[in-house]
Amino acid sequence: MFLPESPRWLYSRGRREEAVKILAKYHSKTGDINSPMIQLEIQEIEERISLDGADKRWWDFRALFK
């Protein structure tokens, strides 16, 4: 209730700007959304979602059984 959503969850729901702001707030000393570290994290999130398909099938539990 008082905790922000996960940046990965936000990104997978099409709320990219909110995800970037949360990453910048907690992972950057200056809060700069254009920081190379923040951009790298966003790129990793994008790659992971495209590999897992986490944004497409929320009910797919195959990853649990691998």
Tens of pLDDT, residue by residue over 2-42, are 666 789 889 988 899 999 999 999 988 889 999 999 999 99
- Whether the Cβ atoms of residue 24 and residue 36 lie closer than 8 Å to each other: no
Q: Which DSSP state fits 11? A: H
- Whether the Cβ atoms of residue 8 and residue 45 lie closer than 8 Å to each other: yes
Supply the pTM of this predicted model.
0.70
Angle at 21 between CA 8 and CA 7, to 5 degrees: 10
